[in-house]
Amino acid sequence: MAAALTLTLSVTAAQADGFCETLARLHADAGNPDAGAVTVAFPDATAAEASCRAVLELGGIRSLSCNWAFDYRADAARVAFDLLASEITACAGDPIATEAPVNHPDSYDLLSFAGGISAALKDKAALQETHVILRVQAG
């Protein structure tokens, strides 16, 4: 039976602990092929749903990858990415690495945090979509 996970992003400090608990749960459940849907509510848009899926990375590392699709280069995608990065920072500290954006013709911003957590903003020109991606490695 799939476990349901809820991830609510907000700009209020009072809810930061809830996000941190959810992030810790994602960490513990990373690599679980039965992980369920994650719901994200952004303050300036209607709630978007994403499915997290188990990923087997190089070297046998297991992680969960959660993906939210937006219209291509929509402002809401940048807002969502910035909010996600802010919430992760509140839980895991400042990013330990950033990758410079690339353009080929897709663009990609990546922030890596301690504990195998990352947030990415990726334009997919062929799909005419921009994706916000949360990746959490098994902890």
Report d(CA 52, CA 81) in Å as an integer: 16
Residue 99: C-alpha distances to residues 26, 58, 96 (Å): 24, 19, 10
Q: What is the pLDDT of residue 41?
A: 52
Question: DSSP secondary-structure letter at 3?
Answer: B
Pick the closest to residue 80 from 104, 51, 47 (CA basis): 47
Q: What is the pLDDT of residue 94?
A: 94
Q: What is the pLDDT of residue 34?
A: 65
Kindly report the pTM of this predicted structure: 0.78
Q: What is the pLDDT of residue 8?
A: 47
Which residues does the chain have with pLDDT short of 70? 1-17, 31-51, 100-105, 139
Q: What is the pLDDT of residue 121?
A: 93
**Dihedral sign from CA coordinates of 36, 39, 79, 71:** positive
Q: What is the pLDDT of residue 25?
A: 80
Q: What is the pLDDT of residue 12?
A: 40
> What is the secondary structure of 63-81 as a DSSP string?
EEEEEEEEETT-HHHHHHH
Q: What is the pLDDT of residue 119?
A: 93
Q: What is the pLDDT of residue 39?
A: 56
Pick the closest to residue 92 from 136, 36, 138 (CA basis): 136
Q: What is the pLDDT of residue 14?
A: 40
Report d(CA 134, CA 110) in Å as an integer: 10
Q: What is the pLDDT of residue 57?
A: 85
